[in-house]
Amino acid sequence: MLKVDNLNVYYGGIHALKGISFEVEEGKIVTLIGANGAGKSTTLKTICSLVKAKEGKIIFKDQEITNLSTEQIVKRGLVLIPEGRKIFPNLTVQENLALGAFIREDKEKIAQDQEWVGELFPRLKERWWQKGGTLSGGEQQMLAVARGLMSRPQLLMLDEPSLGLAPLLVKEIFEIIQQIHREGITILLVEQNAFAALKLADYAYVLETGRLVLQGKGEELLQKEEVRKAYLGE
Amino acid sequence: MSLSIFFQNLINAISLGFLFALIAIGYTMVYGVLRLINFAHGDIFMMAAFFVFYTMTIFSLPWGIACLVAIVLTMLLGLSVERVAYRPLRNAPRISSLCSAIGVSFLLENFAVVVFGGRPKSFYCPEFFTKTFILGGVRVLGINFVTPLVSIVFLSLLSYLVYRTKNGLAMRAISKDFDTARLMGINIDRTISFTFMIGSGLAAVGAILWASRYPQIWPFMGVFPGWRAFTAAIIGGIGSIRGAMVGGFLVGFISIMLVAFLPELAGYKDAFIFIALILVLLFKPEGLFGEE
Ligand SMILES: Nc1ncnc2c1ncn2[C@@H]1O[C@H](COP(=O)(O)OP(=O)(O)O)[C@@H](O)[C@H]1O
Ligand SMILES: [Mg+2]
């Protein structure tokens, strides 16, 4: 579904991504793990064109999207839930969701989807008219996910959705990701919480200072000694 | 001071307050999305008055049509200023676009001097505007009925646009975070153009009402109203539309009431406006309705 080929990204003089290639198969949960500063967020941002690649190709649903604008990419069904939630604090929960549906015109379906995310996140439903900035960290993350779903993604990319959440909420977020996946949405999950991500994922890639150093089935990587040492703190 | 004179001044102050509000909104909206003080806004306001003047004299169009044409032309002018002078500098240090804004301001003023001439021209307005009506002993100029009415119509339209439409939602989103707004599929360039068009359109409405009230137009007519409206926007909390309205009223009231109640201090009108500004900023640095 998504194919990234020899991606090279620079920030001024910093070579942040040094020729990475990977694939996300339709219907799967794929995870990209790695330490802080490895280039995970850069990878996702480059895929949706917030950061421009110097070299490389990105193909989504058999079409090259490397030089498209973010707007066009989102319209094709490739949606990113950015790191740090980035909900709009000055807007209400309802308005944040409306922004998720910004690219859509099908009013009735949008209303149905609002009901759907309301069921998925009952805590948001109680806070429909509250400003995003007044929500707790966990609720903001729920809102960020709900907002992403309102775009009706075919491939949903999540950048560290568990960051800074209490353990109970982390569990809840991972359960929701699985639930979204069961609805038929392909997932590309970036995590520092390697254990949880590997347990969930069909396939995984390990990123280290701008290079992919390992890949394999989630379960397999969980068994590998180098992964256990570097990312699971054993 | 008799009660009727007081009411006369009150009506005047409300009228002027609306004018400042209309102009101040342009400053506040542009600042909201770009974090830029559009110093050319007062000159865009001036151009609007000349657009009416020349549409009437050159094309001999009736006043009402000329006003509509001028509003549209002013919106296009605002849009072009952003395209040419601000967009290329969007990723440059903020001081660059600030300099560019001051440059556009000088450019428009001097363009007007060269092309329109520096001598004031008289501005046509319907007879009703300059007629005096006496209501229960209070003398009211026609323009003082028209200004609040027209302003209320346009300010309501603005609220509708900003709070009830998708474009308005996009505007409020990009005022917080460009990248996340992009992830929603919002086209940043288009939304910024939209913002400039709305702000300039309101400035044009303000200019027509202003020139009907003080019926002389000239290339520097935008300078003082521009500064006062800018001050109003800061007092209200720059970036906040509600703040621009309240700030506009405050500046309008100081301008009129000071002259009325303390005529010997009338020459210090601007000083008092700035004292109000300093007082507000001392106690609430983000302005009355601003966000921290
Ligand atoms: N906007 C930026 N400007 C300069 N360097 C950046 C920027 N964003 C990220 N980097 C650098 O690029 C590298 C990868 O960062 P990032 O993709 O955020 O890593 P991760 O998400 O894996 O923690 C880091 O060395 C980081 O310092
Ligand atoms: Mg990151």
Ligand 2 centroid–CA A40 distance in Å is: 5
Q: Which of A7, A8, A11 to mutate to test the pocket of ligand 1 (most atoms within 8 A of CB)?
A: A11
The answer to whether B190 contacts chain A (CB < 8 Å) is: no
Ligand 1 centroid–CA A47 distance in Å is: 15
| Block mean pLDDT (10 aa), chain B, length 292 | 87 96 96 95 98 96 97 98 97 94 98 96 93 90 95 96 96 95 97 97 98 95 96 95 95 93 89 93 93 69
Q: Tell me the torsion sign for CA atoms A71, A72, A75, A78.
A: negative
**B187 interaction partners in chain A (CB closer than 8 Å):** 69, 71
User: CA triplet B225, B287, B75: central angle to 5 degrees?
Assistant: 40
Q: Cα–Cα distance between B56 and B66 in angstroms, integer?
A: 6
State which residue of chain B sits closest to A103, comparing Cα positions: B185
Q: Give the pLDDT confidence score for residue A106 in this predicted structure.
A: 93
Residue burial A116-147, b: 16+ Cβ < 10 Å; e: rest: ebbebbeebeebeeebbeebeebbbbbbbbbb
- The residue among B164, B172, B184 with the most chain A CBs within 10 A of its CB, best to mutate, is B184
Give the relative orientation of helices B41-59 and B188-213 as an angle to the nearest 10 degrees: 70
Do the beta carbons of residue A156 and residue A186 sit within 8 Å? yes
Residues with beta carbon inside 6 Å of ligand 1?
A 11, 14, 16, 34, 36-42
Q: How far A166 CA sits from the closest chain B CA (Å)?
A: 25
What residues contact B232, with CB distance under 8 A and at least 6 apart? B20, B21, B23, B24, B244, B247, B248, B250, B251
Q: Cα–Cα distance between A163 and B86 in angstroms, integer?
A: 37
State which residue of chain A sits closest to B178, comparing Cα positions: A50
- The residue among B171, B180, B292 with the most chain A CBs within 10 A of its CB, best to mutate, is B180
**A88 interaction partners in chain B (CB closer than 8 Å):** 172-173, 176-177, 180
Could you tell me which CATH class the domain B3-283 is placed in?
mainly alpha
Do the beta carbons of residue A151 and residue B183 sit within 8 Å? no
Q: Which atom of ligand 1 is nearest to the CA of A12?
A: 4
ipTM of the complex as predicted: 0.94
- Residue A216: in which H helix or E strand, if any? strand A211-217
CA A231 to chain centre: 20
Q: How far B74 CA sits from the closest chain A CA (Å)?
A: 29
- Count interface pairs A-B at CB distance under 8 A: 60
pTM of the prediction? 0.93
Do the beta carbons of residue B245 and residue B25 sit within 8 Å? yes
Ligand 1 centroid–CA A79 distance in Å is: 20
Query: Out of A74, A82, A86, whose CB is closest to B185?
Result: A74
| Segments of chain A scoring below 50 in pLDDT | none
- Bridge partners (DSSP) listed for residue B122: B216
Question: Which residues does A contribute to its contact with B (CB < 8 Å)?
Answer: 48, 50, 69-71, 74-75, 79-80, 82, 86, 88-91, 95, 98-100, 102-103, 147, 151
**A48 interaction partners in chain B (CB closer than 8 Å):** 183
State which residue of chain B sits closest to A157, comparing Cα positions: B183
Do the beta carbons of residue A73 and residue A65 sit within 8 Å? yes
Ligand 1 centroid–CA A181 distance in Å is: 28
Do the beta carbons of residue A188 and residue A194 sit within 8 Å? no
Task: Give me the residue spans of the domains in chain B.
Answer: 3-283
Domains of chain A: 1-77+153-234 (3.40.50.300), 84-152 (no CATH)
Do the beta carbons of residue B164 and residue A67 sit within 8 Å? no
Residue bearing tokens 């998708």: B166
**A75 interaction partners in chain B (CB closer than 8 Å):** 185
Q: How far B290 CA sits from the closest chain A CA (Å)?
A: 12
